[in-house]
Structure formats: C-alpha cells, structure tokens
C-alpha cells in the first residue's frame, strides 16, 4: 500500500469586489464608505445597510448580482424616489 497522497488545496483568492459603498442618504459627503451590501444568495435578497444614518433596505436580487450591482440599482431607485418626492412637493406648493 502506497502512502496516501495528500495534496494541500490552497483556497484560491477570490477577486475582491467591493462590498462597501458611499451612502446617498448621509448628508455629509464623508467619502467614507458606510454602506454595506450583504447578499443572501439562498433567499435571493440583499440588505443595504448604512452604519452611519441607519438606512436599511432589503431588495430581491437576481442570481448573479454582485454587491456592486445591487448598490447601483439601489442608487438609481433612491434618486428616482427623491426626484418624485421633490416633484410632489412642487405640486403641493
Ligand atoms: Zn447613511
């Protein structure tokens, strides 16, 4: 019986994708990424959490969405919502 060959498998480092981003809701433009995108692939949801202002959003994600994709979509919607609110205020005034 030969000796069992033991090959150590070294985990290949994953390419680092950013998971922290700037928060659009924080008033101070701190340029510090305070938003974290946490992806739960099993549930197909992503949580967007700001450690500074308490912003918290849950979004459903597509299979291959990376945090950066989730964040991009979130930003689009965030600003679209802001614009809508501003428009409504104008109408009300
Ligand atoms: Zn914030």
Flag whether 2 is in a domain: no
Flag whether 82 is in a domain: yes
Quote the number of domains for the chain: 1
User: Which structural domain range is residue 79 located in?
Assistant: 20-92
From residue 25, how far is each of 29, 56, 77 by CA, in Å?
Answer: 10, 10, 12
Flag whether 11 is in a domain: no
Flag whether 12 is in a domain: no
pLDDT of residue 92: 78
pLDDT of residue 31: 73
Predicted TM-score of the model (pTM): 0.73
Separation of CA 14 and ligand 1 centre (Å): 28
Flag whether 52 is in a domain: yes
Separation of CA 33 and ligand 1 centre (Å): 9
Q: For residue range 16-74, list pLDDT tens digits in order.
A: 678 899 999 987 666 788 999 999 999 999 999 999 999 999 999 999 999 999 999 99
Separation of CA 35 and ligand 1 centre (Å): 7
CATH code assigned at 37 = 2.20.25.190
pLDDT of residue 50: 95
């Amino acid at each position: 019986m030969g000796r069992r060959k033991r090959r150590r498998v070294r985990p290949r480092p994953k390419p680092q994708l950013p998971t922290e981003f700037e928060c659009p809701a924080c008033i101070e433009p701190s340029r510090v990424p305070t938003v974290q995108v946490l992806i739960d692939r099993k549930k197909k949801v992503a949580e967007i959490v700001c450690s500074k202002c308490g912003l918290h959003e849950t979004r459903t994600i597509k299979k291959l969405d990376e945090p950066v994709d989730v964040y991009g979509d979130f930003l689009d919607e965030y600003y679209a919502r802001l614009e809508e609110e501003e428009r409504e205020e104008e109408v009300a005034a």
